[in-house]
Structure 1
Amino acid sequence: MAPLILHALEKRFGPGAPAVRDLSLTVRDGRFLALLGPSGCGKTTVLRMIAGFEQPTDGSILLGERLLADAATMVPPERRNMAMVFQSYALWPHMTVAENVGYPLKVRKVDRERARQKVCEALAAVRLEAYADRRPAALSGGQRQRVALARCLVTEPDVVLLDEPLANLDRHLRQEMEETFREFHARSGATMIYVTHDQSEAMALATDVAVMSEGRLLQMASPEEIYARPEGLVVGGLVGQGSILSLRLPPGSGRLLDWPRLRDAFQGTEEGLMPADVLVRPQDVVLDATGLAARVTSSFFEGERYALRLELANGQSLRAFSRQPVRAGDTTSVVLASGWRL
């Protein structure tokens, strides 16, 4: 297999700003990429261009050295060896589970016995062997999603495209299906591209996360890198539950800031300080009598801990966690163990 390469991709649907602009990224063979961003940021448009449902206005899409699309060329979807899982599952209601899974093989005129074997293997991979003769209407939402995955698996695609496939499921089924997706990725070895606006899904599933906003790619990195070292205010605000503080720091402070540097930023009055946006994660906010004065504006018990919203003396707010009971209206003090300059 080969990497999927998007080069300077642009898509316009009319006058005004393009839906996707100057987007370049490479998805290495066998990776699981999550396209993450708010509604309307262009991530589904990117997915549809990869699938062959939309043609780029500019730029190109390649699978290895094979050109799939540019402004003048368009390989049709059925010749791209890709499979797509839709939010609505897109199952044929009059067909059984086995018939739905085997339909792509029927279209490709695969030998009947070979097709039966591949359908059995695909259903086994998603733990639905016992449901082969049922119709989609007799299945739960999670089971229908597994049928859609099995239908992908049966064709041995180079790339699997998933358009917010968990959006219609409740929280319990979402967690169950996340595990199914991880197993599917490990078993199939296919390159997977997953569109979502839910950052927890992206972090839990993907090997790489690409954050988009207003049609542009802002940052692409591993989930750990995106979380620990986001590039800019938009990425910092989209990923995790951090608080963004407006501080003044001396030039050359670096990007990873420890408590002494952060404490000085609140207390310092010397000349030459520069305004800076600093991301502080809740787990790095420590209740400590030696720290900055803060007032608890809200406290919610989450089962294992309290989720707090704090207001500092300068009016800025912080998120924090506490194992001990803390009530709204309490006064406390906090130490900021670390922060990241955006």
Structure 2
Amino acid sequence: MAIKYKWLAAKLREQLPDYAARGQHQLPTEAELASRYKVSRQTVRQALAQLTQEGLIEKRQGSGSFLTGRLRSFDQNIVSILISSDSDYTYPTFLYHLRHELQRKNFMLRVHITDNDIAKERSILSELLSDPPRVLIVEPVKSTLPNPNLDLYRTLLRNQCHIVFLRHSYPQLNKIVCVGEDNLSGSRMLTEHLLAQGHTSLGALFYADDLSGSERYQGMIESLRDNGLPLPDASVRWFHTFELQQLIQKRDTDFIKKAIQESFSSCTAILCHNDLIAYELIRALHMSSDPRLSEITVVSFDHSYLCRTSQPSFLSLSHREHELEQKLTETALAPLKGLPANSSNLDWIFQP
């Protein structure tokens, strides 16, 4: 009996990747397995119990046994992520919670830092091609610009690497699953909030290299248009990756000071791309010699610690707690379980 159940467990273990590749996430019933392999139901139960103990399958009450997506070899249960940073702004917190969600499913996270640099992205992808991960989460690099690395992504796909984009997909690869953010609606919410407070002279400071900047700009100007207000081209400013890196690394706020001087002096409220920009903008406004500038209302995205520690604090939209990390984990692991993975857009909400 012992030899038989171990033999059956080994046979099933070998077949689990094939089940997932066929999109079959549920194992045959105990009766079907017993008939197929000419063994007793007791032997089947023991074999399934062995695979459950190894974390390769899970039993669901009244439903049978299902794939978890894990494989027996530890180094095959790793999810890789390409991301611009692991130490700046909200990235450490995000990676901490993503790692926690994956560990709950018995997967590990391997982080590759791009610094939002196309050459570094290509170098990392080239290395990954030698041993493609089962799952690769990708935060696109400079997503508003043409990208020369799409050939490597297509090669990874041909090598059975499941790719999930984080926040955006490259336009040329828009059929790949993406866990995104509903930036148009979020920006509309902030704009409508400011208009309800009586603001009509709005400015903005958005990220030029990232599609989220374009989407947040679009939501703002569509809201102004729908409310019969002029489009504020002169008071919309854009920053680039180099300026953002200078801000983070050297606390260089020249681009923010220049925006205030050239575009924001007549504004009563400003939409910022994220809390880091909003925090530094508020500091610059309050350090100005013009007391009127300190009265400008600033709103933002991400609801990080910066919106609470700023003096004064400012309104910032958020997602539901840990929603991004949970949705990303679910989407990344779905194909390994033989389940369909679908794109999604997370709502922005007002955080109490």
State TM-score, norm by structure 1.
0.29
State TM-score, norm by structure 2.
0.28
Structure number with the higher strand fraction is: 1
